[in-house]
Amino acid sequence: MKRFLTILMILFLLQSCIPKYEDERYMSDTLIINEGDENAQVYDYYVDSYGNEGVVFYKAVEDGEIKCIIVISADESYEYWGPMDQYVYKINDITNYGVFSNYLFSLMMLQNMYAEGLDRFPAQKWCYNKNNGELHPKASSWRLPSYSEMTSLPNINKLNEALISIGGTPLDVDSYYWTCTEDYDGYVTINLQHEDFDKENRAILKSFKANSFSNKDSWIKKNKYKVRAIKYVYYHY
């Protein structure tokens, strides 16, 4: 298992050198995921082969070529993030915060949590259960979104209209939602608290109001907050 995680981390670090799809040009021509309609637009309905429903919330197009399409689940849950006094992304010194914006980051978090046992990570487990018992996580697996992915959500009012139109649950603008991103040194600061980081005991929450991060005490992993799953249905670089 340790060898598997080491290989995964090497692959992840290599892939993290790929330019971010929302900002820069890609230098290769590889289709990684193709489980959705390339013509789908933001706010369009999506249903997978297991009957899980959702809405497209992000589509990246560069020079007329589709780079990725991401779906958010039509339903949500209310779960703990996971255990205290440990962290999942085992890197002590992070100097390149771009790794958190790469699509492989949330996949890596899923892979590591899966290896440690998803029962220990209820928020991630709820998301992964949508994969209908698949034996191993893959690039297109439903999973807990990263902070970067959650900040990519479009106009919340329009997204909620789309969710309601398919019988889904709208995002609660008065609540917090878990992301898979832990409180790593220097990544997200609030109220000028530039030295207050605790990746072992905190994970970043997402709110859809301006006062999202008024108190880091709310980020404690043993707290319960709302959870949404995301799924990459198309990824090309």
Q: Evaluate whether residue 214 is within a structural domain.
A: yes
Check residue 212 and give its pLDDT: 55
pLDDT in tens, the chain (237 residues): 444 443 344 344 334 333 333 333 333 457 677 777 788 999 999 999 999 999 999 998 888 788 899 999 999 999 999 999 998 877 655 666 667 777 788 999 999 999 999 999 999 999 999 999 888 999 999 999 999 999 999 999 999 999 999 999 999 999 999 999 999 887 887 765 567 889 999 999 998 875 555 678 889 999 999 999 999 999 887
Q: Evaluate whether residue 102 is within a structural domain.
A: yes
For residue 197, the enclosing domain spans 74-230
Q: Evaluate whether residue 93 is within a structural domain.
A: yes
Check residue 18 and give its pLDDT: 32
Q: Evaluate whether residue 202 is within a structural domain.
A: yes
List of long-range contacts for 111-116, beta carbons under 8 Å, 24+ apart: 111/5, 111/8, 111/137, 112/5, 112/8, 112/88, 113/82, 113/88, 115/1, 115/4, 115/5, 116/88
CB atoms within 10 A of CB 78: 13
Q: Degrees (nearest 5) of the Cα angle 114, 111, 33? A: 130
Check residue 8 and give its pLDDT: 45
Q: Please, how many CA atoms are within 13 Å of residue 56, restricted to the half-sphere of its CB?
A: 19
Four-CA torsion 15, 20, 21, 27, nearest 10 degrees:
-60
Q: Evaluate whether residue 53 is within a structural domain.
A: no
Please give the structure tokens belonging to residue 90: 């085992």
Check residue 154 and give its pLDDT: 92
Number of domains, the chain: 1
Q: Evaluate whether residue 148 is within a structural domain.
A: yes
Four-CA torsion 124, 133, 149, 174, nearest 10 degrees:
-50
Q: Evaluate whether residue 31 is within a structural domain.
A: no
List of long-range contacts for 84-88, beta carbons under 8 Å, 24+ apart: 84/200, 84/201, 84/220, 84/221, 84/222, 85/200, 85/201, 86/200, 87/182, 87/199, 87/200, 88/112, 88/113, 88/116, 88/182
Check residue 27 and give its pLDDT: 35
Which element (helix H / strand E) includes 50?
A: none
Which element (helix H / strand E) includes 11?
A: helix 2-15
Q: Evaluate whether residue 132 is within a structural domain.
A: yes
